[in-house]
């Protein structure tokens, strides 16, 4: 799972009312969800980037588990 998918899941987008026609309401929900992401998750993802890059380099840009 990519870092963006981890963030997407942690933000709970499956709970956001996508059918809403009120753009301001959607933006407010997005900001609230973004601010609810724990800093520990952000740090974990940042530190994992080095491992991801190393795996991609070792695989000569072929597919990796990341």
pTM of the model: 0.51
Q: What is the pLDDT of residues 12-53, one digit of tens each?
A: 665 655 555 677 887 888 888 889 889 999 999 888 888 888
DSSP string, 1-58: --HHHHHHHHHTGGGS-TT---HHHHHHHHHHHHHTS-HHHHHHHHHHHHHHHHHHHH
**Annotated domain spans of the chain:** 3-12+22-58
């Amino acid at each position: 799972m990519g870092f963006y998918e981890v963030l997407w899941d942690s933000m709970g987008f499956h709970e956001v009312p996508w059918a809403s026609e009120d753009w301001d309401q959607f933006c407010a929900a997005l900001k609230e969800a973004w601010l609810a992401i724990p800093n520990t998750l952000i740090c974990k993802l940042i530190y994992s980037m080095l491992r991801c890059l190393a795996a991609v380099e070792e695989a000569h840009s072929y597919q990796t588990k990341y």
